[in-house]
């Protein structure tokens, strides 16, 4: 055996001993890190599966309740929605609350439905859902003509820039009309009609409201009609001077 071979084997043995010492020192940490990674992946996969499983179950429960309502089984639908509200995950409990309120309204239980929407307006986490609950409660209060109650709910939404501004102003105007405040209703609807951002559907409805209020003699409508008549009626020209008119006679001293 040559010296070169002996030196190579000794060098390999020394390197092997060094690797064993390094592994003995740091091996447990490497193994622990690998185990931690595996556990994290497993936990993530388990969490995803659990969420998907719960979401699927919540979805099935919610749509089963909707089918009961469509079939006319309101009592069964309400009970099923209560289960969804108590046990479901994600946004299904909130959806169940909205559907429960709509079932109460359809069943003629207006006060209970308004209370349900008011509860949603304070409990929903999404601010847009809270605003939607206030609008739906406001619509239920229109026929009662309680302008103060409607203003309390949707008055803050009528500000320009709010996505529900047009709906809020329509509710306020209809409530004013139901309360007999024709002048206030006309002013409210006129402001909506003059808003360039309202939808064409709403603008068409508001024009119908304004026509009805004008027919009923709402103050402010008369001024609008007078302005329209003045614009449509041409003014009569001043009479021309007669050609044979006698010139003025100067005064004698």
Question: What gap in Å lies between CA 249 and CA 234, rounded to an integer?
Answer: 37
Confidence of residue 42 (pLDDT cuts 50, 70, 90): very low
Question: What gap in Å lies between CA 69 and CA 72, rounded to an integer?
Answer: 5
Q: What is the pLDDT of residue 213?
A: 92
Q: Collapsing DSSP states into helix, strand and coil, what is residue 197?
A: coil
Placement of tokens 């995950």 in the chain: 89
Other beta carbons within 10 angstroms of residue 187's beta carbon come to 17
Task: Give the residue, 17 or 192, on which the prediction is more confident.
Answer: 192
Q: Collapsing DSSP states into helix, strand and coil, what is residue 235?
A: coil
CA angle 243, 245, 251 (to 5 degrees): 145
Other beta carbons within 10 angstroms of residue 115's beta carbon come to 14
Q: What is the pTM of this model?
A: 0.65
CA angle 238, 239, 245 (to 5 degrees): 140
Confidence of residue 198 (pLDDT cuts 50, 70, 90): confident
For the chain, where do the domains classified as CATH 1.25.40 start and end? 114-226
Question: Taking residues 74-100, what's their average pLDDT?
Answer: 85
Question: What are 158-193's pLDDT values in tens digits?
Answer: 888 888 888 999 999 999 999 999 999 999 999 999
CA atoms 198, 201, 202, 207: torsion sign: positive
State the fold for domain 114-226.
Answer: 1.25.40
> Cβ distance 134 to 154 under 8 Å?
yes
Q: What is the pLDDT of residue 26?
A: 55
Placement of tokens 């209560």 in the chain: 82
Burial class (CB in 10 A: 0-12, 13-18, 19+), 5: exposed
Other beta carbons within 10 angstroms of residue 59's beta carbon come to 15
Task: Give the residue, 127 or 36, on which the prediction is more confident.
Answer: 127
- C-alpha 174: how far from its chain's center? 21
């Amino acid at each position: 055996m040559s010296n070169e071979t002996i030196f190579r084997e000794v060098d390999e043995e020394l390197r092997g001993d060094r690797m064993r010492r390094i592994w003995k020192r740091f091996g447990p940490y490497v193994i622990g890190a690998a185990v931690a990674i595996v556990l994290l992946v497993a936990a993530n996969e388990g969490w995803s599966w659990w969420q998907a499983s719960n979401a699927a179950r919540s979805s099935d429960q919610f749509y089963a309740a909707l089918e009961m309502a469509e079939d006319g089984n309101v009592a069964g639908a309400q009970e099923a929605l209560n289960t969804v509200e108590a046990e479901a995950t994600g946004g299904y409990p909130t959806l169940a609350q909205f559907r429960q309120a709509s079932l109460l309204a359809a069943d003629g239980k207006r006060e209970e439905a308004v209370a349900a929407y008011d509860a949603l307006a304070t409990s929903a986490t999404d601010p847009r859902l809270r605003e939607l609950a206030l609008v739906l409660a406001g619509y239920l209060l229109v026929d009662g003509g309680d302008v103060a109650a409607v203003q309390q709910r949707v008055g803050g939404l009528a500000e320009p820039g709010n996505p529900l501004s047009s709906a809020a102003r329509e509710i306020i105007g209809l409530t004013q009309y139901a309360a007999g405040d024709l002048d206030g209703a006309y002013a409210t609807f006129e402001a909506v009609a003059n808003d360039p951002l309202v939808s064409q559907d709403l603008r068409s409805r508001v024009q119908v409201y304004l026509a009805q209020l004008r027919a009923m003699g709402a103050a402010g409508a008369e001024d609008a009609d007078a302005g329209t008549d003045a614009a449509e009626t041409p003014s009569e020209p001043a009479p021309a001077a007669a050609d044979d008119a006698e010139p003025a006679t100067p005064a004698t001293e």
